[in-house]
Structure 1
Amino acid sequence: MLNFDEQRFLRIQSGAVALRQRLDDVVVSCLEKGAENVFFLGTGGAAILMQPAAQLLQRRSRFPAFIDLPAELFITGSVNLTEKSIVVIPSLSGTTKESVALLAKAKEAGATVLSLVGHEETPLGKGGDHAFVNFAEDDTSCESFYLQSLFIALSIMRHRGEIENYDQIAGELERLPGLLLEVKRGYEDKAETFARVLAGSDYHIVTGAGNAWPEAFYYGMCILEEMQWIRTRPVHASDFFHGTLELVEKGVSVILFKGEDALRPLADRVQNFAPNYTDRLTVLDTADFALPGISQEVRGLVSPIVLATVLERISAHLEVMRNHPLTTRRYYKRVAY
Structure 2
Amino acid sequence: MLNFDEERFLRIQTGAAELADRFDAVVGECLEKGAENIYFLGTGGAAILMQPALELLQRESRFPAFGGMTAELSISGSVNLGPRSIVVMPSLSGTTKESVALLEQLKARGAMTITLVGHAETPLGKGADHVFLNFAEDDTSCESFYLQSLYIALAVMKHRGECPGHADIVTQLKRLPGLLLDVKKAFEPKADAFARVLAGSDYHIMTGAGNVWPEAHYYGMCILEEMQWIRTRPVHASHFFHGTLELVEKGVSVILFKGEDQFRPLADRVEAFVPSYTDRFTILDTRDFPLPGLSDTVRAMVSPIVLATVLERASAHLEVMRNHPLTTRRYYKRVAY
Secondary structure, in 3 states, of the residue corresponding to 1:8?
Answer: helix
- Give the aligned partner of residue 148 of structure 1: 148
- The aligned residue for residue 321 of structure 1 is 321
Offset from partner CA, 1:11-33 (integer Å, 9 cap, x none)? 00000011111111000000011
List per-residue Cα deviations over 1:245-264 (Å, max 9, x = no partner): 00000000000000000000
1:50 Cα deviation after fit: 0.1
What is the distance in 2 between the residues matched to 1:43 and 1:289? Answer: 31
TM-score (norm 2): 1.00
- Residue 90 (structure 1) aligns with: 90
Matching residue of 1:26: 26
Q: Per-residue deviation at 1:105?
A: 1.3
DSSP-derived class of the 1:261 partner? coil
The aligned residue for residue 292 of structure 2 is: 292
Distance 1:39 1:109 in 2: 14
1:163-182 alignment, distance < 5 Å? 163-182=163-182
Following the alignment from structure 1 to structure 2, what is the Cα–Cα distance between the partners of residues 82 and 97? 21
Q: 1:3-22 counterparts in 2 under 5 A?
A: 3-22=3-22
How many residue pairs match? The answer is 337
Amino acid at match of 2:76: T
Letter in 1 for 2:218: Y
**Residue aligning to 1:73:** 73
What's the secondary structure of 1:161's corresponding residue? Answer: coil
SS at match of 1:297: helix
Query: 1:190 is matched with which residue?
Result: 190
Unaligned runs of 5+ in 1: none
Match of 2:54 in 1: 54
Q: For residues 19 and 158 of structure 2, what CA distance do their matches in structure 1 show?
A: 17
User: 1:163 Cα deviation (Å)?
Assistant: 1.0
Report the equivalent of 2:334.
334
Q: CA-to-partner distance for each residue in 1:103-162, whole Å, 9 max, x for gaps?
A: 011111110100000001000000000100000000000000000000000000000001
> TM-score with structure 1 length normalisation?
1.00
1:217 deviates by: 0.1
Q: Percent identity?
A: 77
Letter in 2 for 1:60: E
Letter in 2 for 1:122: T
2:280, 2:271 → 1: CA distance? 11
Shift of 1:320: 0.3
Trace 1:74-153 onto structure 2 (pairs within 5 A). Answer: 74-153=74-153
SS of aligned partner of 2:48? helix
Q: Which runs of 5+ in 2 are unaligned?
A: none
Matching residue's letter, 1:40: F
User: What's the offset of the Cα at 1:63?
Assistant: 0.2
| Matches of 1:257 and 1:158, distance apart in 2 | 30
Q: State how far apart, in whole Å, the 1-side matches of 2:281 and 2:155 are.
A: 39
Kindly report the root-mean-square deviation, in angstroms, between the aligned alpha carbons of the 2 structures.
Answer: 0.4
Q: What is the identity, as a one-letter code, of the residue corresponding to 2:120?
A: E
Tell me the SS of whatever aligns to 2:183: helix
Which whole-Å CA distance do the structure 1 matches of 2:257 and 2:100 have between them? 32
SS of alignment partner, residue 87 of structure 1: strand
Give the drift of 1:84. 0.4
Offset, 1:296: 0.4
Q: Does 1:309 align with 2:289?
A: no
Letter in 2 for 1:202: D
Give the 4+ runs in structure 1 shifted more than 6 A: none
Provide the C-alpha distance between the structure 2 equivalents of 1:167 and 1:131, rounded to a whole number of angstroms: 23
Match of 1:273, as an amino acid?
Answer: F
Give 1:204's aligned amino acid: H
Deviations 1:144-202 (A, max 9, x none): 00000000000000000011100110000000000000000111000000000000000
